[in-house]
């Protein structure tokens, strides 16, 4: 809604200054909208002559995907799959098959660290409804056998879960949506754009002055201070996705519990990391990949995450920025697509992995 108001103001200003009569300069014509969707506030800025139409097409695409992937909307395809255990997919729902296939691939690649069937455990902690609680161990023991990504089956027009299972696409849906925006940008001849879908950034092209987009990585130690950064990524044609223990958590009896669950234990991952950022180029599928990997690598911890990164032989290349509990920032680049500028005043020790 806010976005529409913003647009109206832009139109008003243009009308007042008379600029609306002259053709838009593709380098400076731009539209910025805010979209509240997928449980987060998203900011999309598009450039080019068709920037307003492109921005609203992005919003439409995101809303379409939310209507498929939401776990809280009882009418979504995911909710109906969770309720019935299987689902015939209509023509409009075939994208669910696509994301489930990708999710299955990332489950395999990460050895189960990324697992959408962690849904019942996420709910037991109250992260689905915001009614947070620490579940009893007996409850986790009852739910853990349901966490098994290999039991999900997908066909072009159907999907099915194992008995009692449900799925949560919260760790991949926003990255998938960021990927979908590339299609919109191509369709609307958008030369450059920056989309931040709640920690899932798509830097499309470069900035109007020819320099890279600059995207800050939040300091997990100061989540409420938006100025507190561990560093800045300089990006051109890239996705950058951050998962962090500071993004969603609750406190009980003086202890903090965050929302990234280790599927092996059913508990918030205690991996020694406080955030993981994954960067990759804008190739097909890479938005969802960055999202899934950032969650998975957070649960793995530094040593396994770097091992996973080093062992990459097939598939898209990606780079990492890991922030550790003991005050280090580890940068591992295999794409050559970005520069990382440390915030020297942050107090972190910076390391480069190879």
For residue 100, the partner it binds in Mg ion, ligand AMP, none, with Cβ less than 5 to 8 A by kind, is none
CB neighbour burial string for 317-339, b if at least 16 within 10 angstroms, e if fewer: bbbbbbbbeeeebbbbbbeebbe
Eight-class DSSP state of 272: S
Question: Does 196 interact with ligand AMP (rule: CB under 6 A)?
Answer: no
DSSP of 90-149: PGGGHHHHHHHHHHHHHHHHTTTSS-GGGHHHHHHTTTTTT------HHHHHHHGGG--G
Judged by CB under 5 A, the residue of 54, 62, 143, 171 near Mg ion is: 171
Burial call 251-262: b when 16+ CB within 10 Å, e when fewer? eeeeeebbbbbb
Spell out the residues 6+ positions from residue 27 whose beta carbon is closer than 8 angstroms to its own.
47, 191, 208
Contact between 59 and 180 under an 8 Å Cβ cutoff? The reply is no
Closest approach, Cβ 286 to Mg ion, in A, equals 13
Alpha carbons within 13 angstroms on the beta-carbon side of residue 189 total: 6
299 binds, among Mg ion, ligand AMP, none (CB under 5 to 8 A by kind): ligand AMP
**For strand 349-352 and strand 328-332, is the pairing parallel, antiparallel, or unpaired?**
parallel
Region binding ligand AMP by CB under 6 A among candidate stretches 163-171, 186-194, 321-329, 339-347: 163-171
Tokens coding 280: 């990759």
Q: Which is nearer to ligand AMP, 3 or 263 (CB)?
A: 263
| Cβ at position 263, least distance to ligand AMP in Å | 5
Of these, 47, 56, 69, 114, which contacts ligand AMP (CB under 6 A)?
114
- Taking CB under 5 A as the rule, does residue 273 contact Mg ion? no
Query: Which of 240, 248, 192, 238 shows the shortest CA–CA distance to 31?
Result: 192
Residue with tokens 């991996």: 271
Output the six-digit token pair for 138: 């007996």
Among 52, 170, 231, 281, binds ligand AMP (CB under 6 A): 170
Element (H, E) at 322: strand 319-324
Q: Quick check: 291 binds Mg ion (CB under 5 A)?
A: yes
50 vs 258, beta carbon nearer ligand AMP: 258
Binding-site size for ligand AMP (CB under 6 A) equals: 20
Pick from ligand AMP, Mg ion, none: which does 188 bind, CB < 5 to 8 A by kind?
Answer: none
User: Token pair for residue 67?
Assistant: 């209507």
Under the binding rule (CB under 5 A), the answer on residue 168 touching Mg ion is no
- Residue 32 has φ and ψ, to the nearest 5°, of -120, 130
102 near ligand AMP, judged by CB under 6 A: no
> In the complex with Mg ion, which residue's Cβ is closer, 210 or 315?
315
The closest of 124, 107, 125, 108 to 116, measured between CA atoms, is: 107
Site string for ligand AMP, 219-248 (x = CB under 6 A): ------------------------x---xx
- Is 295 among the residues that bind Mg ion (CB under 5 A)? yes
Find the residue with minimal CB distance to ligand AMP.
170
Stretch that binds ligand AMP, among 7-15, 56-64, 110-118, 132-140 (CB under 6 A): 110-118
Tell me how crowded residue 90 is: count the other CB atoms within 10 A of its CB: 10
Is 295 an interacting residue with respect to ligand AMP (CB under 6 A)?
yes
Q: How far is the CB of 277 from ligand AMP (least distance, A)?
A: 11
Select from 78, 116, 146, 330 the one that contacts ligand AMP (CB under 6 A).
116
CB 201 within 8 A of CB 241: yes
Smaller CB separation from Mg ion, 81 or 171 = 171
The correct pick among 47, 69, 127, 185 for binding ligand AMP (CB under 6 A) is: 127
Give me the residues that bind ligand AMP (CB under 6 A), please: 114-116, 118, 122, 127, 168, 170-171, 243, 247-248, 259-261, 263, 291, 294-295, 299
Q: Which residues bind Mg ion (CB under 5 A)?
A: 171, 291, 294-295
């Amino acid at each position: 809604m806010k976005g529409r108001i913003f647009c109206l103001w832009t139109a008003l200003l243009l009308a007042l200054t008379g600029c609306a009569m002259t053709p838009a300069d593709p380098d400076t014509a731009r539209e910025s909208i805010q979209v509240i969707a997928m449980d987060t506030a998203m900011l999309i800025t598009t450039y080019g002559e068709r920037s307003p139409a492109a921005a609203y097409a992005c919003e439409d695409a995101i809303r379409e995907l939310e209507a498929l992937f939401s776990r809280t909307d009882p009418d979504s395809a995911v909710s109906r799959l969770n309720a019935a255990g299987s689902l015939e997919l209509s023509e409009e729902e075939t994208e669910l098959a696509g994301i489930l296939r990708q999710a299955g691939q990332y489950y395999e690649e990460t050895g189960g660290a990324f697992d959408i069937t962690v849904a019942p455990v996420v709910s037991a902690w109250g992260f689905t409804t915001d009614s947070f609680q620490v579940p009893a161990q007996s409850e986790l023991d009852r739910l853990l056998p349901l966490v098994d990504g290999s039991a999900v089956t997908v066909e072009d027009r159907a999907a099915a879960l194992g008995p009692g299972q449900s799925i949560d696409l919260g760790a991949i849906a926003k990255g998938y949506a960021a990927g979908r925006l590339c299609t919109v940008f191509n369709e609307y001849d958008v030369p450059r754009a920056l989309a931040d879908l709640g920690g899932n950034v798509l830097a499309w092209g470069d900035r109007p002055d020819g320099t890279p987009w600059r995207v800050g990585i939040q300091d997990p130690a100061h989540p409420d201070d938006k100025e507190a950064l561990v560093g800045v990524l300089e990006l051109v044609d890239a996705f950058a996705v951050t998962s962090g223990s500071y993004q969603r958590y609750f406190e009980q009896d003086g202890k903090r519990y965050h929302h990234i669950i280790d599927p092996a234990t059913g508990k918030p991952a205690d991996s020694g990391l406080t955030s993981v950022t994954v960067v990759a180029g804008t190739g097909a599928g890479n938005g969802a990949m960055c999202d899934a990997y950032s969650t998975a690598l957070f649960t793995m911890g530094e040593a396994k995450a770097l091992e996973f990164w080093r062992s990459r032989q097939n598939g898209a290349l990606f780079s990492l920025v890991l922030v550790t509990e003991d005050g280090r920032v580890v940068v591992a680049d295999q794409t050559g697509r970005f520069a990382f500028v440390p915030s020297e005043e942050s107090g972190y020790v910076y390391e480069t992995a190879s």
